[in-house]
Structure 1
């Protein structure tokens, strides 16, 4: 794994560029990397990310970002296993990286080696090492993170190290060869441009220019710096600059240092040949995209480097052309032989895409090529184009490209040239064959989107109605095109409150009516239609039907169910939508879409699909998720009583699971979709689906400690089952909601819902259903110290299970009775009851019950002083919970292991184990994390 902080913050796993998530998460990683190997206190992280105004949830947000980074940096890390990369340390966090993995550490090591070589008298070697160190830099340290974080001393100090290294290299130049001198000079120029008032840096530049035989340029540089100091600071040059001027004046005249020629035999451009400057005007109010600009800046070739091509891709309206033109204007001075621009009309509304010969003709015309010299065939035109470019350093912007074939002949080949290509497609052919780099644009982040609105409407207006401005940003989906349309309308009506505009957007949210604009190019519906109308009929159908998907992510199997096709067929349709940027594959096999594109797709579905087709597709996709979840529940808890479902609709493709791990992974991956489906379709008349899905989700949500989500989904299920008049659905939902409320400490509400559930299960004659309610009520009684009451509920539950012939239910009661004896201090009885439970669960193959029994046995043995027996039992439980992917109970067992270590006077082992438990609890956002954190302070 490789980490980059000297420039944009990036991480590579092998050759794969790891996506680092939202800005604050990237900033947290940058902060830790800047302190690599050293802990950053939690309060220090809060101060860095929020400065003077942290939210009340700041610590929880940090824990979530840490958990997400751990998953990104250690994708194979098992739940409950301590991270070796991003670890808890001294009340904060520390990232551990090897010197060769992080560019900052490599830079410092090379600089140290250079100083050692200089002390030993080998100044040429010192320059070589410093050049290697400086080549690691790709821009200011931490580029792309929020500017207020980038401005912290920890990052500016790293930038200062860069400047110091540049000065050191410049100081050793007189003993360096021509090639190294040129390397130093390139870096020195860049640093001097970034720090125009640093007199020491400007002095070094003047001295190196003079040493390289460029006396005139050195003296001109002095003149410019002197004028800048006078104009901006009212100062005269200091001693360093004056001494550098004298050095330049007294430097013996000599020819410039000779650098080996680039491997090209092309003739120099003809004298008087035009240097076209065709770039469109830069947007004066360009806002945001600092991260992308950092990535792009790192791709600019230096003179003599191989030509580069960069593809900026993204959905319609995301700002590809704006970014390309802005970046090209920033670079224009570095391409003195010409800056060309061609709109290839790849997705033009009324006309065809620009043909190859037409595009080539535009480029040849830019160089003043006589018509008589232009061949008829594209291949011959391409040869002429390349001969005209020979010996030139040009920048070519190819905007709105349709495909790779349209672009390929237009790419400049000479060293040092750059092509910037924009397209709604990813142009994978250019990457594969031409080695092009890809930068894919997403919608702006929240801060950038708000800044765009502020630029267009003025800070006073936005500040005055900050809440409305934030809502407008959200309702526009942070899409530059939509924000531009809305802000243009708002600017034309300065007296109109932003709240009124937000109301209009909110009223039409889910459609695109609020984004109608003039001319048609400024209409989001019109812009999106360009891509849609170019789709095959099959892909167009999928695009429309995806509006029916509950979101936020759609799997291949779900898309196949939605369209009543095979997974093989739907993959090709999904790929077509991804290429058109109407869909994004944010991870392999999982697809998402922008909210405005979903709104557009919904409009198309209403216009195109019949009510019957919409209803059939909706039923298929809901059945896909319901039956997949039902199967996953059966794999995870084969001995648990479950509801019975009707057969899925024809052409539905539910998922299949080979083992418990794949089932647990599926639940975790699809959880946002399942919860969204339950919430959305309770409002659209799918009441049976809503309560059935809630029932199937109960076990998974409880096991993973997601009780707030359980409360929400089961409350929705109760309403749906009542509308449906389904007593069984009401009973299941009341029982699940009651237990969730007890887990959240809302005892009164818990008791009320459990009482309703018990009455309904009695009315239905469902004995296992009644038994589980008694077990839940026993849990609550134990929580309040009413252990005799708990034992009575367990007796009733055992009788009901026995009468129903439910052996595993009876075994679970034995374990819970054993735990109650633990609470009573009757440890021998606890061992006896838990042993009975373990024997039955092992006989029936109930791994969940077996893990619970091992855990209880371990705790009982600890109380009896049998520490070795206790640890053996608890480790058996932990291993099983990890295999079952039961995060909360794995953490709970780790706490029991830590208790056993403490009882055996092994404080260090206890602290290490508690840290593992804390990592898990923070990962799932569980309230028990605070208690474990407090215990850690006591043990450490």
Structure 2
């Protein structure tokens, strides 16, 4: 042993014997029983196991003092193990060199092979294990000496093949003198002497060898020596022309002698530095380690995932972790299933390599594949060996490499699904996804100085997301930061934020994200590759099968087949099923960027535009149909001139069985498509699609989405000079301002929209704008102007056939009449609105009209009729998931039941309404609920509670421009002192 060029003195014969056993079995467990037997040779004292432990402790102390650390010798049941990782063990290095020399010789590289053998021989510095006693150690020493001589013989055969016979004679003469019974060495000496022109000496060498063999062993020389002697006597020309053939005819030592001195094979690459996370996946692999019998099939773990997700890293890390459970060896091979340069490795080549690792000399490895499989499985019989098959292309590639012994274990990594590995062999599938955010940041901090990552946690989190939390990308980014200490995390984030450069930034040096993706892409069939490219063009977060069908202009079944294939090869991933029952798929961002690159390089601009156009028009078709089915017709919106993409009627029925469910499933996609269409100058499509989605934004109170889409579509329409589309989007933007009671902003939008509609002669759009203006005028308290606008709008709606909007206008007129204390007129208009609304068949329109009729009933004093109408409204809006509608219906119920003297029920209704409005952004609705609660508490004599609710209502109404609302709350506050008994008039009337 040596450290830093200094020899390490190990004291005591027992320590030396135990150290010798550990060195001879480096990387595998040596049991305590074996150590006891070696030290005391069958006569151990009662304290033998304790003394072994003392010797181990002394060795550890010696090695630690020399800087080797605590992990050099580990305790592993049922004994101890020397861990050579990071340290040089001459025996292991020699074995590796001999294997390399054998491979070079097999590849017909005699010069390099001979030099490699010489390197191996130079590791011998004298007799092995000198000064160590004990039968076990001495037997191992003898075997190693025999192996050294075999290496000498192999090296000399190669030197002879290179024509170095003259230089070899002295060395061979010494070896023959030291080992006179070794026929192969004598054979080489005779051949060297003959080629050097020393024919008589060659003959004499034979005669001397024959005499020694007869005298000491009583046998004649073997056929190899005798045939060489005969050839020398007759000057056979083959001695100079077929040297290798003659050398092969010399009997080689029995393979067992070599196999027996081979240490346990350990072909694993070094463990992964800074390995992070994967606790759940490691636990699944640990499940392979349960007790199994030889008659069972081997335990197989199948690690799969996208390129760069860390499949090989996990396999290698777990293999090192579990190495102690496989004392008979660990085999590893990269099968190049997805390799940029090399074709997938053939099983026959892998078997040749594995057999050599297991100690089979090259010349004894069978040629036929079936014979190699048989020998391989025979070598693994009754052994516990771990086999790691990395980067596999198919089950057929690895079937010959699977052991037949149930005590062995196999770990397979691949990007392909390989169902047969699971079905036929019962493999345990370990699906690797990207790292959780915390573990992704931890990985960065293990490579980059942790303080740099911790200094800016926000940017570090952003960096992990830009890398898709993909281990390969994270390692590349971290390596760039580590190599550039003057860069901050923010600086690298800035470089990666540009999608056009991100793959370039993560594809520098040997490790390249782009190259990893390219290996998966290169094996795709043409149609699958085309679909992958085109899906990557879409800005949406996820998508269903019909999108793929539109991009390729093919049927749904073909699109589904291709998308599932992309899932199988890890280029797409399944999100799950949406509320309509459709499977949804998505990209990782880096894979999307790679797909866009391929699309731009492999398809024409016209092809890509046409594909994207079909998909966008498909969304428009579905959104328009969803609006019609939800609204009872094509009501309350305008349409542009964009041609619809035909969608199969059966698919329409499946997707739109519940239109609001489809809208919800596609909401983020619809917003993204509108944004991209607007950015690409597709103004007609952008504003038309926005109009078709308004019913979702309105019912489910997606106010931010509503405003965002309208603003993007408006900008596109204005840039294109599209006055009709711009007017419609201005009308809807005015509607968003009305929802939040920002009346001055609403007036600006609606005034401009009305002018544009009048310029283009669009009567329907003008009526939609007038209806919004009427609502604005009513909120300002100008009931006369509001009534005039509503009557004009109602006439236009009737004329153009927009029954839904007509019913809305009549309902608003009923509300206006209530505000003017024209109660009977309000009831009449309310009944007319309900009649028109029911004619549309659209429940939500009916609910809105019923609500206004119910308000009129309540003011009229028909409280039971009012309660029935409010209950029907509540049933409809709750079924729709209309939160704002539910709040208003509960508000109406609470006020009505208060008027009926059922204060407990009324309070419950109002508190439920308050809970809803606090979840949505509607200060007007919340203010009205707080006002009603304050009035109810006043009637119940709870003055402080009443004041609290009324003050909150005043604060809410102060945020909006609604004089009538502010007047009502101030009046209610003024009536607080002194509190009066309940009046006959319903609360809130």
2:685 aligned residue (684, 689, 701): 689
- Please identify, of 910-919 and 616-625, the stretch whose mean Cα deviation from structure 2 is larger: 910-919
Task: State the secondary structure of the residue aligned to 1:602.
Answer: helix
Query: What does 1:143-542 correspond to in 2, within 5 Å?
Result: 275-293=264-282, 296-297=285-286, 301=290, 308-369=299-360, 385-386=376-377, 388-411=379-402, 418-507=409-498, 509=500, 512-519=503-510, 522-542=511-531
Matched, 1:643 2:638: yes
Separation of aligned partners in 1, 2:922 and 2:292: 55
Separation of aligned partners in 2, 1:704 and 1:849: 15
CA distances 1:596-626 after superposition (whole Å, capped 9, x unpaired): 1121122222222122222222222222222
Contact 2:622/2:652 (<8 A) preserved: yes
Separation of aligned partners in 2, 1:336 and 1:928: 75
2:609 aligned residue (610, 615, 629): 615
Separation of aligned partners in 2, 1:839 and 1:933: 29
CA distances 1:219-263 after superposition (whole Å, capped 9, x unpaired): 9999999xx9xxxxxxxxxxxxxxxxxxxxxxxxxxxxxxxxxxx
Separation of aligned partners in 2, 1:783 and 1:292: 61
Separation of aligned partners in 2, 1:840 and 1:325: 72
Contact 1:511/1:600 (<8 A) preserved: no
1:714 aligned residue (710, 724, 731): 710
* Offset at residue 342 of structure 1 (A): 2.5
Query: What does 1:807-818 correspond to in 2, within 5 Å?
Result: 807-818=803-814
Contact 2:830/2:853 (<8 A) preserved: yes
Change (3 A) 1:507 1:809: closer
Contact 2:541/2:586 (<8 A) preserved: yes
CA distances 1:780-832 after superposition (whole Å, capped 9, x unpaired): 44545655554443233223334445443322222233345566777665544
* Offset at residue 289 of structure 1 (A): 3.2
Contact 1:475/1:509 (<8 A) preserved: no
Separation of aligned partners in 1, 2:916 and 2:374: 61
- Please identify, of 351-360 and 889-898, the stretch whose mean Cα deviation from structure 2 is larger: 889-898
Q: Which residue of the partner structure matches residue 601 of structure 1? A: 595
Contact 2:267/2:330 (<8 A) preserved: yes
* Offset at residue 216 of structure 1 (A): 11
Separation of aligned partners in 2, 1:830 and 1:296: 73
Contact 1:282/1:326 (<8 A) preserved: yes
Contact 2:778/2:786 (<8 A) preserved: yes
Task: State the secondary structure of the residue aligned to 2:412.
Answer: strand
Contact 1:558/1:653 (<8 A) preserved: no
Contact 2:495/2:501 (<8 A) preserved: no
Contact 2:337/2:392 (<8 A) preserved: yes
* Offset at residue 398 of structure 1 (A): 2.3
Separation of aligned partners in 2, 1:373 and 1:691: 77
Contact 2:894/2:905 (<8 A) preserved: no
Change (3 A) 1:295 1:896: farther
Q: Which residue of the partner structure matches residue 204 of structure 1? A: none
Contact 2:883/2:916 (<8 A) preserved: no
State the TM-score, normalizing by the size of structure 2.
0.61
* Offset at residue 418 of structure 1 (A): 4.2
Separation of aligned partners in 2, 1:657 and 1:722: 36
Q: Which residue of the partner structure matches residue 555 of structure 1? A: 544
1:592 aligned residue (571, 581, 586): 586
Change (3 A) 1:224 1:639: farther
Separation of aligned partners in 2, 1:407 and 1:805: 70
Separation of aligned partners in 2, 1:865 and 1:355: 90
1:577 aligned residue (551, 563, 566): 566
Separation of aligned partners in 1, 2:481 and 2:811: 66
Separation of aligned partners in 1, 2:763 and 2:369: 81
Q: Which residue of the partner structure matches residue 623 of structure 2? A: 629
1:771 aligned residue (760, 767, 772): 767
Q: Which residue of the partner structure matches residue 233 of structure 2? A: none
Contact 2:373/2:400 (<8 A) preserved: yes
Separation of aligned partners in 2, 1:343 and 1:913: 69
Separation of aligned partners in 2, 1:762 and 1:723: 20
Task: State the secondary structure of the residue aligned to 1:554.
Answer: coil
Q: Which residue of the partner structure matches residue 163 of structure 1? A: none
Q: Which residue of the partner structure matches residue 564 of structure 1? A: 553
* Offset at residue 929 of structure 1 (A): 11
* Offset at residue 858 of structure 1 (A): 5.0
Contact 1:661/1:884 (<8 A) preserved: no
- Please identify, of 451-460 and 888-897, the stretch whose mean Cα deviation from structure 2 is larger: 888-897
Contact 2:304/2:311 (<8 A) preserved: yes
Contact 1:711/1:741 (<8 A) preserved: no
Contact 2:627/2:634 (<8 A) preserved: no
CA distances 1:631-685 after superposition (whole Å, capped 9, x unpaired): 2222222141443444647888796236854432222112111211222232223
Unaligned runs of 5+ in 2: 1-46, 61-258, 578-582, 938-944, 947-989
Contact 2:891/2:909 (<8 A) preserved: no
Separation of aligned partners in 2, 1:222 and 1:852: 89
Contact 2:887/2:914 (<8 A) preserved: yes
Report the number of matched residues: 679
Unaligned runs of 5+ in 1: 1-214, 229-269
Q: Which residue of the partner structure matches residue 44 of structure 1? A: none
State the TM-score, normalizing by the size of structure 1.
0.64
1:742 aligned residue (723, 738, 745): 738
Contact 2:757/2:765 (<8 A) preserved: yes
Separation of aligned partners in 2, 1:901 and 1:416: 77
Contact 2:656/2:662 (<8 A) preserved: no
